[in-house]
Amino acid sequence: MSTAAGAAFANTGLTVLSDEEEQFRMAVREFAEGEVRHKVEAMEHASKLDPDIIRQCFELGLMAIETPEEYSGAGSSIFNAIVAIEELARVDASVSVFVDVHNTLVTNAFLRWASDDQKKKYLTQMATGKVGAYALSEAGSGSDAFALKTRAVDNGDHYSLTGQKLWITNGNEAEIFLLFATIDPDAGYKGITAFIVEKGFEGFSVGKKEDKLGIRASSTTELILDNCKVPKENVLGEVGKGYKVSIETLNEGRIGIAAQMLGIAQGAYEAALKYTAEREQFGSTLNSFQAVQFQLAEMAVEIEATRLLVYNAARLKDSGKTFVKEAAIAKLYSSRCAERVSSKAIELYGGYGFVKDYPVEKFWRDSKIGAIYEGTSNMQLQTIAKLITSGK
């Protein structure tokens, strides 16, 4: 899609897609339906992504949507990345967040902050086969992200990193980590620096994988740094400016999480729609009762409102306009929508909705993380409140 077209769409705020975007959506949906859906249950039970799915994500270009063609990427837009995340989450949120973090956090940070040499080396690798992960959180730094304790010591030609990271998505699959540490604990956020850490670096290891409520096939791990040796040229951006890298990257990442929640809501809604059309009670299908029809209508309204918010935030980002407030609103609302819609889907299924033989209980479990990661709902409210009271 051209820049002019993107700007035009941004001004409308509509969910309308260009022909190219619609073709892309259908291509991702074909992959999700044809390759992912029949593996969801097995991946859920194994708590691990299928290696063939990972390979196909690279082969289809889903891991390099915004990456320029000169680095083996598609050279496309954040909007198309959002569409891909949505469509994957409609079938499986674990595959969706795998693609999401790689694109909207790691790749996005490289596109904005990496040197030409770093882009040539790492963007090309991440476009063709190496998974990226984003390592900010620690045991004592959740919403207070810059209270991190991981220390980076300058040793002349390299930095030595020591500390522990928690809740790292793609931790088991990743080979390239965007990792944040402080060069000066007394400097507060001004000491935070972003480092590019490769899995094979001396002193780096992946710790335990968390046993989670939802998105179970997505690996969430700890990272252990024991005097991990990182070359000086692997600083991303400027020394002491990691807080800026983090904040600006997470702003785009929130649109990705919002798209994931949108996809979860859509998947749960479609499952409920199909079930109520087939299930009979009192001699009629469930969807013939007005009470059920109204519940389905409420679900549809919430999903469409969410889609407008998510797409608008992505359009604003693509058109180069301010989008921080819109991203926070989309992330907040979409997480609520996903949880409400998936919960209602369980109720419409009745007893069947409460057992794992049917899909809707998984949609609900997967939805819960939306109010927590990449900024809790309270943090989104804080961001929104700050911006609206300051007149922005």
The tens digit of pLDDT for each residue in 231-265 reads 999 999 999 999 999 999 999 999 999 999 999 99
CATH of the domain at 272: 1.20.140.10
Which among 138, 326, 361, 374 is annotated as catalytic?
374
Residues 255 and 159 in one domain: no
- Would you state the pLDDT for residue 289? 98
Query: Across residues 348-376, what is the average pLDDT?
Result: 97
Q: Which one of 220, 243, 266 terminates a domain?
A: 243
pTM score, two decimals? 0.95
The tens digit of pLDDT for each residue in 114-166 reads 999 999 999 999 999 999 999 999 999 888 888 899 999 999 999 999 999 99
Residues 255 and 368 in one domain: yes
Q: Which one of 243, 259, 279 terminates a domain?
A: 243
- Would you state the pLDDT for residue 142? 83
The full 3-state SS of 163-222, as one line of letters, equals EEEEEEECCCCEEEEEEEEECCHHHHHHHEEEEEEECCCCCEEEEEECCCCCCCCCCEEE
Q: Which one of 131, 146, 172 terminates a domain?
A: 131
Residues 140 and 210 in one domain: yes
Residue 86 among the catalytic residues = no
Task: Give the model's confidence band at 8: pLDDT under 50 very low, under 70 low, under 90 confident, else very high.
Answer: very low
CATH of the domain at 148: 2.40.110.10
- Closest listed residue to residue 93, CA positions, set 380, 368, 347: 368
How many structural domains are present in the chain? Answer: 3
Residues 185 and 313 in one domain: no
- Measured between alpha carbons, how far is 382 from 392 in angstroms, rounded to an integer? 14
> 113 is in which domain, residue-wise?
3-131
Residues 118 and 140 in one domain: no
Query: Across residues 347-372, what is the average pLDDT?
Result: 97
CATH of the domain at 121: 1.10.540.10
